[in-house]
Each structure stands twice: as structure tokens, then as C-alpha cells.
Structure 1
């Protein structure tokens, strides 16, 4: 084989190697694009997760502040509503006075908290165990509360459902989250049917995360099963 043939063969081999390298490089480029996409999505999800954590933390802080005010002022422990220091305005005072007869009958409890007036109704008055359908005997007290909130308040109303710490898992309610949310929603719908403007109200399920009494005793669980109605001021 002469020198020309050898050189020609070597050139052909080098060209083939370059073509192979180019093909391999092109076939691997999609991996780089895919990795960039995955990285971008991961950053997006992490950012959304961080925002949700911040919102949840802000909500927890507000709830803790409400409970600290109760602990300091002793509200909610006596039959008559206790007015916290700071002279609440006339509308708040009027609402407390109008609701006081229901508290005297032990149908509700009233707390004057930093965010407004909180009305608590024991769940046994409203629902059967593990259910979110209002009992007929609950209509009387709910009617009276609705009349007061409709005729003597124009403020926003936050209805919260609370359960005890005993887990629940039924065909209708997979956990206490679903049960507490359903109970809050039923009360909101009742108030709307009685003429309270829907845009003023919101329903939230708290499950067993904000107990009134810590412990697994029957009395503690009974006290923790409740619906609270916060009239914001």
C-alpha cells in the first residue's frame, strides 16, 4: 500500500470518528434540556411550598394571639361576657349584651377577644357524633344567634369547626378535617338562609388542632367538639 492510500484511509477514519462524535453529542443534547426543565420545575414547586408554609405560619400566629388574649383577660370562663381592657366600641358592646341571655342559658359561651366577639356552641347541641347534619333542637339557638348577627352587625363572620382528637374514617368523612369543615359549612349555610349576607361569612375546618382542654378525658373531648363563630371587629 502506497503512502497516498494510507493517508486517504486515515483521513476517512478520522472523518468517521468526527461524524460519530457529532452524532453522539447531538443525541445527548436533549438530556441537557430535560435536566434544565426538571430543575426549573423543582425551583417553582419549592417556591410555592415556601409561600404556603408562610401563610400557614401567619394563620397559626393569629390563632395563638387570640388564645393568649383569652388567657390573660380570663374571657370565656364566666357566665357574663368579660370586656377586655381597651374599651371596645359601642357596636361590640351592644353585640355582647344581645348575646348575653343565650350565654346565661348555657346555650353558648361568649369571649371578647382581640379580633372581635367569639361565640362558641358545643357540638352536642348541633350534631350527632360523627355527623354534620344539624339537629332539629339546634335550630332555636342558631336562629337567635342569626337574628342578632343579621340585625345588629355588618361585620365579617368566621365560622370554625372543631373536633376532638379521636380519629375518624368513614365513607363520608375520611378524617376530622373533612368533618370539621362540613360542620362549619352547614352553620354558614344556615346563617345565609336566615338572611346574613354570604359575602360576610367564611367556613373553616380546624379538626383537633385548637383544643380548649388538653387531654383525652371524656370531659375534655366533649368540650373540644364545638363550632366557634368569630364576629370580627
Structure 2
């Protein structure tokens, strides 16, 4: 009887021994599933965010990245809006004032030149013209040079000096000195073509202007146009005489870009 009891106690002990490792295993499995579940949840969220971001880029929707960009742009716009912006009306008013002042200055220079021309009996050799792009002084070639030559006459140096004195009041303006001829061919050792003659004439007259050290050479340029920018027909002696000339152009600083085309048109 006692052996039987001992046997029963031994069986009961064997039946309970598996609970401990089983509980440990279940605990570990539970922990594993919790970790896996947590990882899968985070990845799903990240995947969803990435999916929305790509959808925003591809379809123009408002995903996470788009929202961030909108927030950043909004902050930037707000910052920019706090900065003072120049008034377009104010800029236009300032430009108009500068153009008005320039117009007055050039008109005053033209009047001074016209007075000098009249007082010195040069009305047949010089004239001035003010338009939307420049103030142009046109000088007949016979007032400056001998026929077929480019050396400035001694008596014409006084004219160049007078013009340079007037120009020094406008130190910030670009000055273009251009030479022109008629269409009669020239072929000499010194001047093989009208191109050469017109270029050297413009250069020589500019050099005399720049004897005045108050003028800035950086503002000056000399151009030879030859026979290709006539102002009159070359079929008469009068027309050819008008085409043989030197022009001194004071270029406006505040003319509109469309008006600047007048600089080229004036020589065509």
C-alpha cells in the first residue's frame, strides 16, 4: 500500500515539472511577438509616410514632404513679407526725375553749342540735334579737314577745344565720335579706302578733344563708318558734302532700351 502511494507521488511530480519550462517558453514567445508587433507597426507607419511622400511628388498631392515644404515656404514667405520692399511707383518717380533732369541738362548744352555756332559764324558747318537717345553734334568735313586728308586743320582745334570744354560738364556720359564719307572711292598710300579715312578722321578729332584732361578717356570711343551711313543722296555734290562729316554724340543715360535704338538709327 505504501509502495503504491509512493508511486502516485512520483507520477504527480512528473506531471508538474513541465510547467516551468513551458511558462518560460510562453513568456519568451510572448515577448518575441510583442517585439515583432512593435517593429511591424513602426515600419508600417514609416512605409505609409514614404508612400504618401512619393504620391505627393508624383501626383501633386499633399503628402508629408509636401506639407513640410509648404510649412517651410510659408515661413520663408512670412519672413520675406516682413522685409521692406521698394515701391514700384517710387522707383518710377525717381527714374522720371532723373530723365527730366537729364533732358534739362542736354537742352542747356544744346543751347550753349548753338550759341557758340551762331556767334562764330559756323551755322553752315555745324548743327546740333537732340532726340530720345542722344545729343548729336554734326561737323562738316570741310570745317575740320582738307579734301582727302585726316589731319585736323589748325583753325579747327579751337572748335574742338570749345566742344571739349562744354563736354566736361557731363563727365559721366558716353561720348561717341564717328567719321563718315561720301561714296567716292579713295585709294591712297595712307588711306586705302573710305573705311580708313573715316576711322582716322574720327580718331584724330577725338584725340584733340581728349587734350582736355578734365575728360575721361574711358567714356570716349571713335568709329569709322565709311560711306555706309549717309544722311543724303550721293548723286549730287550737295548730298555728298552732307555725307562727309564727323559726329560727336552724347549718349543719354536714362533713355529706355527701345529709345537706345535711335543711336544706331541715327547713323543709318
TM-score past 0.5 threshold: yes
Figure out how many residues of one structure are paired with residues of the other and give that number: 148
8 A contact 1:184–1:204 mirrored in 2: yes
Q: Deviations over 1:201-232 (max 9, x none)?
A: 00000001111211321111111110000001
In the alignment, structure 1 residue 151 sits paired with structure 2 residue 169:
yes
8 A contact 2:171–2:216 mirrored in 1: no
8 A contact 1:103–1:110 mirrored in 2: no
8 A contact 1:167–1:175 mirrored in 2: yes
Who is 1:220 aligned against? 239
In the alignment, structure 1 residue 160 sits paired with structure 2 residue 167:
no
Who is 2:107 aligned against? 93
8 A contact 1:156–1:232 mirrored in 2: yes
Match of 1:112 among 130, 155, 173: 130
Q: Distance in 2 between matches of 1:138 and 1:181?
A: 18
Q: Distance in 2 between matches of 1:144 and 1:173?
A: 29
- Listed as ranges, the gaps of 5+ residues in structure 2 are 1-98, 253-268
Q: Deviations over 1:144-169 (max 9, x none)?
A: 11110013443110000000110001
Alignment of 1:12-161 (within 5 A): 89-104=103-118, 105=121, 106=123, 107-161=125-179
Q: Distance in 2 between matches of 1:180 and 1:130?
A: 10
Largest Rg, 1 or 2: 2
Q: Deviations over 1:57-109 (max 9, x none)?
A: xxxxxxxxxxxxxxxxxxxxxxxxxxxxx966222122112211133231420
Who is 1:66 aligned against? none
- The structure 1 segments of at least 4 consecutive aligned residues displaced by more than 3 Å after TM superposition are none
Q: Deviations over 1:177-208 (max 9, x none)?
A: 00000000001111111222110100000001
- Listed as ranges, the gaps of 5+ residues in structure 1 are 1-85
Q: How much is the aligned-residue C-alpha RMSD, in angstroms? A: 1.6
Match of 1:200 among 210, 219, 240: 219
Give TM-score scaled by structure 2 length: 0.53
Secondary structure of the structure 2 residue equivalent to 1:187: helix
Who is 1:29 aligned against? none
Q: Distance in 2 between matches of 1:152 and 1:202?
A: 16
8 A contact 1:165–1:216 mirrored in 2: no
